[in-house]
Amino acid sequence: MTSNAQSGSAARVTLEQTKSPIGRPAEQRATLKGLGLNKIGRRSSLEDTPAVRGMIAKVAHLLRIVEGA
């Protein structure tokens, strides 16, 4: 068991979209929507899971991870 599971709060990761999905493959646009992002400057806070990390890796060039948020 991890310390996060013991404390009752899951680790979270906050993302900010920095670039537009215009001209990108449909898969990347759909991944952004799945992450809760659709406009430049929007932020989304998600549970830090392997599935979310995989989605982030797929569109890492369109977003940034916000530290301390």
Give the tens place of pLDDT for each residue, 42-67: 999 999 999 999 999 999 999 999 98
- Single pTM value for the model: 0.81
What does the pLDDT look like over 28-44, one tens digit per residue?
999 999 999 999 999 99
Question: What residue ranges do the domains of the chain occupy?
Answer: 12-66
**pLDDT higher at 2 or 38:** 38
Class of domain 12-66: alpha beta
CB atoms within 10 A of CB 16: 15
Nearest-5° angle of CA 3, CA 8, CA 14? 85
